[in-house]
Structure 1
Amino acid sequence: MKREEDNGMKEEENILKKIGRENTFKVPDGYFDHLASEVMDKLPEQEKNVSLPHKPTAWTKKLKPLLYMAAMFAGAAFIIRVASLGYKETNIDTAATETNDTEIVSDQMIDVAIEGTMLDDYSLYVYLSDVSAD
């Protein structure tokens, strides 16, 4: 292994002896002094931009965004209307009746209420404990 490294070092030294450590890339003196002006002289002349007088836009182009937005709201209202066709509104008075200061509530309404609170079991227990203590 050491021998291979020695051979690699010898090869590198031989190459450096042939080529040398001098930077072989050189730029003529004063090359960059006038480079920008020479490049600009070689570019073709551009025509001046002639601006046309401002032409008023058609009223349809101005109204397109408003029409798109109105169509979006109409579509959203239609989708909500179609989606809510199967929804049956329940009246709270019919679902729960009072008897002796206690409300009778269906299990379905309790499940919906618990799911809507997004509480875990322990938090719900603590909340119900605090309410019942009052």
Structure 2
Amino acid sequence: MNEEMYIQEKVGKRNPFRVPEGYFDNLTAQVMQNLPEQPKRRAKSVFMRPVFYAAASVCALLVAGAVWMWQANDAVSSDSIQAQTAVQPQQQDASSEYMDEAVDYMMLDNHEIYAYLAEN
């Protein structure tokens, strides 16, 4: 015998699930009473957004200006150092001038010079 037919014979075709009278009339009020209260959040004003954007732009400009001034200060100090060294003539031996010209002519870099000196 089929299980469904057996259940229909025992129970019948009636719906065993019933809702009490007036259950859905007060359901929303009961659910709202059982919910915990949430703290009220202050909504950020839409009118304050341009102020925040302006403040962020000013901060970005200040940081960029500080970086630019820092780099400009370094460039001025390096220029002054170069100017001071140009004023003071450097005394070089004739042999060191010859070595510099020879190294430039042979197109040697520091690594190759170190390797050559390490071999000898």
TM-score tier by shorter-chain length is 0.3 to 0.5
TM-score (norm 1): 0.33
The structure where strand makes up a greater share of residues is: 1
- Structure with bigger gyration radius: 2
TM-score, normalised via structure 2 length:
0.36
Q: Which has the higher contact order (CA 8 A, sep 6+)?
A: 1
